[in-house]
Structure formats: C-alpha cells, structure tokens
Amino acid sequence: MNITRNNVDALNAVVTVEVSKADYAPQVDKVLKNYLKNASIPGFRKGAVPMSLIQKQYGKAVLLEEVNKVLQENLNNYLATEKLDILGNPLPKINEDFNWDADDYSFEFELGLAPEFTVDLEAKNKITYYKITADDKMLDDQVQRIQKQYGKLISKDTVEEGFDVTGTFTNEENGINNTATISLDIFKDKKTAKKFIGKKVGDVVTLKTKGLFDDDHKLMDYLKVGHDNVHGLDIEVDFKIEEINASELAELNQELFDKLFGEGNVTSVEQVKEKIKEDAEKQFASQADQKFINDVTSSLLENTKFDLPAEFLKKWIQTVGETPLTAEQAEEEYARSENGLRYQLIEGKVMSQNNLQITFDDLKAYTAEIIKKQMAQFGQMNPTDEDVDGIVARVLSNQEEVKRLSEQVMNEKMLGLFKEKVKAKTKEVSYEQFIKEMYGE
C-alpha cells in the first residue's frame, strides 16, 4: 500500500492510493473459502463445489468489496496520521479506463482543505452591549396588569372608555383570524378608540392597520402577522366584538402582596416594583446576551477573511444527500450554507485559540442547575443532592440530550469569552428602545 498527496493549492489536494494484490488477496481468498464451505449449488454436495465455480460466481463482487474495505481503512488512517483538516469527505476521481482485471490498482481522491486563518476578538468593531432597564412606565403598567389579573371582571353590554373588549380580528384575503383582548388605550389615534364606544357584543368595527398602533410590531401580537409583513401594512381588518368587560382593580394591600410573593416578603408598592424590576431585568439580560452573541457573530463573519475550496464543496454537496443534486442545485445549496460553514470554522478556531472545552463535570453542573430551577417551579425548593444526581444521570444517558446540553454549555462559554475580550460599548436602554434596536428601526 502506497499513499501520496499532491497539494494543488492551499485549499485543494489530490491523494493517490496504490493498492497491490498483496494488500487484498489474503482477505479475498478467506472470504471465498468461507463461501466454498457453505455454498449450496444444485448438482454439488455442500462443501464440494469447485473453487473455480465459486470464483466465477462471487469473485468479482468479493474483490470489489475487499478492495474497498482496504482502501477506506488505509485512507482514513492516512488522513488521521497526517492530521489533515479537511472539509466534507474525500471525493473519488472518476477513471473511465479503470481495469478491475488488473492485479494492482490506483485510486485518486480529491480533498478540500480547511483554510488557515486567525480570529481577532479584540479588533475594533461597532458592537453594542445593551443593558435593558425596566423603566417607570413598564413598572406602572405591570402593577396595573397585576391589579387587573387579581381583580374582578364585570360583564357589560356596551363599550365605554376604560373597558376591555374581547373579539376576533379577521381579514380573509390576508389569512388573518386571531382572537384578542384589547383595551382602548392601545390605539395610536384616539379617534380609533372612539369607534368602539357604544358598541355591543356582535357588532363589527372595521380598522385600518396602517398607524393602528404606536409600534407596528404590536400587529404581530394582536393580528399574528409575521415580522416581515407588519411594516407599512395597509389593509382593513374587521374586529367582531365577543365580550365586553369592566375591571374592578384589586387593591394594592398586604393580602395581595402575600398572595404574590409569600407572607411578609413584600410590604409596599415600592417593594412590589423592585421585585418586578429585578425579575424583568433578569429576563432582559438573556435577550441582551443573545443579541450580543448575534452581533459578535455577524462582526466575525464580516471581518474574518479566508477563502474556501468552493468548487470542491459544490461537488461534495452534489453527492452527500440521499438524492444526488444537479450542479445548479448544489450551487444554490452552497450559497445558502456558506455563511453557516464559515461560522463553524470561525467558532472552531475561537475554541482552539482560547482552549474552550466542555468537561463532563461542566455538563453535570449545568444540567443540575436546570433541574433545580425546574423543580423550584413545582414547589420543590430544596431537593436533596441524591434526587438531583439521579435525575442528572437519567438525562445524561440520552445522547440527544447530551448533544443539546453540550451546545448550551458551549454557548455560555462563548458568551463569557466574548464579554471578556470583545471591545463593545455598553448602552442603557428601555425595553421598547431595545426592541427598536433589535430590528434595526
């Protein structure tokens, strides 16, 4: 067995594997002898079939199979020994004149090589890390929602100012059919709210979507319209009234505080707002972190320059699926997946440059924290270590779960690294401002 490599350029190579008869003949003979022992052919006793007949009937198929086994085993060993960082899998070069009747064979494989590059996390950039705060308006609104939630609903016949109205938004042409409860102060224009005054159950109010709310994103919530369609959406929707309710707000007293936060833990509206602020900003932090990761990812893709063996990858894409693709289909698939491949390479380089690894202890600790949080949601505030460890063991016995959790652990490690090394400016914003920044508006 002789294997040689010719580097076509920095990203492409051809490996030639020369297989001699001595590499495969012993195994071919062994397989054919096993066939001979067990062959059952009319006219011959079992075990007495002539080898020439076995050779004629099975020889070529066995030869192809055993040569392929030797070929793949030695090629894989070569790639591992040479520590070649390849993209995709080796592609065999077609030889129209290949002769299986010869004793010795030569096979050529095309390789796509991973590019050499470095990632500079500390380079100048325009990335912002958003610190999202719960402003006074949000806290006041949330307190009022709590009062409504724990207050009493009083059914009414006719819509008046301050009432809540439940109904269904519809527009058949645009596929809109969504039931929602609205308060009249959600509309941008007071004239729109006035359309509802005096209406009764069963009445239909027709509304224009353009400028309906102070933020077009609210159309996503109330009409279930996709983000790409809400901006400048200018259609009419019907709102059929199904319920009219007045809210008798719950009193902000100790009984309500105890119901919300446990007996004696909160004793004033100010403390209620502090609790709401604390919980909200924890949730906001995870959203800010995700945007930060997304922005760093985009920046790295834009600023980390390297070439790929594009033509090789397009040929590989044609062969890798269950159904072979045409050259045109592979071109389209490559265009769709190129950025994903580039980021996989960048992420791998970041991990190797910064020695980011996941240990089994990391995975166990992360899984245990998730389990404790889930148990707390069901009232189990102080589970024993034995109980938690037992659940962790069951979860980590599932390979799909291990893969999913490993991705989450690495995501947290990457986030920590980005926060440490990426020179981003910090900007304090309200949640509304963050949403506008999130969608680039």
Q: What is the pLDDT of residues 300-334, one digit of tens each?
A: 999 999 999 999 999 999 998 888 999 999 999 99
Domain count, the chain: 3
Query: What value does the mean pLDDT take over residues 410-424?
Result: 95
Q: Are 77 and 195 within one domain?
A: no
Q: Are 277 and 379 within one domain?
A: yes
State the average pLDDT for the chain.
91
pTM comes to: 0.73
Task: Report DSSP letters for 37-92, one per residue.
Answer: HH---TTS-TT-S-HHHHHHHHHHHHHHHHHHHHHHHHHHHHHHHHT--EEEEEEE
Question: What are the residues whose beta carbons fall under 8 Å from the beta carbon of 1, sequence distance 6 or more?
Answer: 17, 18, 19, 20, 23, 70, 74
- Asked, for residue 408, whether it belongs to a domain, the answer is yes
- Asked, for residue 71, whether it belongs to a domain, the answer is yes
Domain boundary, last residue among 248, 278, 299: 248
pLDDT above 90 as % of the chain: 75
- Asked, for residue 164, whether it belongs to a domain, the answer is yes
Residues 19, 105: contact at Cβ < 8 Å? yes
Q: How confident is the model at residue 58 (pLDDT cuts 50, 70, 90)?
A: confident
Q: Are 305 and 397 within one domain?
A: yes
The whole domain housing 59 covers 2-113
- Asked, for residue 126, whether it belongs to a domain, the answer is no
Domain boundary, last residue among 200, 215, 248: 248
- Asked, for residue 120, whether it belongs to a domain, the answer is no
Q: What is the C-alpha separation between 7 and 93, in angstroms, rounded?
A: 15
CATH code at position 161: 3.10.50.30
Q: Are 421 and 297 within one domain?
A: yes
Q: Are 54 and 99 within one domain?
A: yes
The whole-number pLDDT of residue 339 equals 94
Model confidence over 176-218: pLDDT tens digits? 999 999 999 899 888 999 999 999 999 999 999 998 998 888 8
- Asked, for residue 121, whether it belongs to a domain, the answer is no
Q: Are 167 and 101 within one domain?
A: no
